[in-house]
Amino acid sequence: MHRVPDLPELQATAERLGTQLSSEEAEVYRRHLTRMLAEFDDFVQARAAEVRPPRFPGAREPGYRPGPDEDPHNAWTWKCSVAGSDEGILTGKTVSYKDHTAVAGMPMAFGAHALSGHVPDFDATVVQRALEAGATVVGKNVMNGLAGGYGFGGGVGDYGRPLNPHNPLHLTGGSSSGSAAALVDGEVDISFGGDQGGSIRIPAAWSGTVGHKPTFGLISHFGIGFGSDQSIDYTGPMTMSVRDAALALEAVAGYDGLDPRQTRDVPDWYDATSGLTNEIEGLRIGVLREGFLGATEAVTDSVQQAIEVYEKLGAVVTEVSVPEHLTIGAAQMALSAEAALAVRGSGFYGAFTRTYYPEDTIAAITRAWQHDQELLDPRGLLTLMAGEFSRRYWAGRLYAKAQNVRPAFIAAYDQVLSEVDLLVMPTTITQAPQFEPIDDRITALDFALQSPVSQSAVANTRPFNFTGHPALAVPCEKRDGLPVSIQLVGRMFDDALLLRAAHAFSEAVPFTEWLAVEAA
């Protein structure tokens, strides 16, 4: 028996939509709604043929949630073993995923207890392709998610704080924090994170891994959750070696027809490995002046030493300037508020595109939004309220302007990248800060709504979520027991060149050795 709103509920709904109805008018609307909702109910219940969700074939064991003895740095929400094809470029490699990526048969909670127990029945493209390439999926990693998290400190979040293996008293970075900890612990070869403002590259920098945010659209985002605008959201590999990052990119990159963000500029297949070991003599590197603003002395000195290594390898280094680097954050912030509101209104995986829509996941998250908002990230609620008032005060102009200024920001970087081959700067302007627990509820709430740690962390990462340029975080060295990271940024779809430059650096400064030895 289908449900029908009563008159007060109908009138309240109309008022939220911007109009007031008298009792007589509401009764007329109610009569027509009764008919429409009955038709909707019939359709939902009907045994109509539906497309089968994408899923790598084969039986899967359900896996388990590891205890603290097996997971001392709290890197894992779930462990499993899903074998891929018998051969492929990832044969022998283990792969894990941030817990916003669908792996059929494995729980996916998006970092929120309110969604614990949800199990998708389909594979994200990055899962399907990794399995096709011979990888073995070994689990899901703790993330900052729909309930917040501790990657940037504070006192709000579910699933606990992933500990930095280099120094557990310090932060791992968010939001792909569990992925970074698992990699440094040597428990997985490749972990795919997610990045809306630096959430691959920041934990890579603070925890000492390679972290790749690819060119926008190069890796399909199908089957991966997002909480803000799809035009700033990415997935990409985190690894302990540049070679593994290149293998992972080659295995999963390319057009798939399921992600509406992918244009036909995205190739069907991407070669990330054939030129990986080529020399970099003559490579033109631009040192981004604005990227060092506010950086600590230790970070500045370490990155400058990394640049000197490039000079010794034959690269031609010059200083360059992109003043827009300092103002682009305002545009992305303006974009995010109404975007979050739009995601809430259209559904967690969006709307309007001919693709596969995972019904169970959409329903689970919608129920959490409707009934468990108090259990979710308070920053998400703040963003929603900002979007609501933005829409009310500026009637959509804010979001439109934020999208429409994007080409000018892209052009500013492209102009410099027409004169050099890639840009370098610190990935983050500080090393991993010390964790400061917050027990007071109001103080924790205030910190969650505007974390000063996260605001400084995104200074050099967030701009390239907005523009779409590929960006790669590469460890430099340790200072006082904590990693420092250099970020390489390149032209659109020039990800292979970034990996080649990073590989040359890693051969000259074998960071895998000191990271692995000291983390063991």
Strand order in the sheet with 234-239: 76-83, 136-141, 94-98, 190-195, 234-239, 210-213, 471-479, 482-490, 422-426, 284-288, 316-320
End-to-end CA gap in the chain: 60
Cα(243)–Cα(272) distance, integer angstroms? 9
The catalytic position among 79, 93, 98, 213 is 98
In contact, 424 and 481? CB cutoff 8 Å? no
DSSP for 302-350?
A: HHHHHHHHHHHTT-EEEEE--GGGGTHHHHHHHHHHHHHHHHHHH-TT-
Question: Do β-strands 76-83 and 316-320 pair in parallel, antiparallel, or remain unpaired?
Answer: unpaired
Q: Answer yes or no: 22 catalytic.
A: no
Q: Answer yes or no: 199 catalytic.
A: yes
Could you tell me the two tokens for 302? 């370490």
The catalytic position among 179, 199, 220, 228 is 199
- Identify which of 314, 290, 292 has the alpha carbon closest to the alpha carbon of residue 303: 292
Which residues are CB-neighbours of 397 under 8 A, at least 6 positions away? none
Burial code (b: 16+ CB inside 10 Å, e: under 16) for 264-284 equals eebeeebebbeebeeebeebe
The catalytic position among 96, 175, 177, 451 is 175
Active site residues: 98, 175, 199
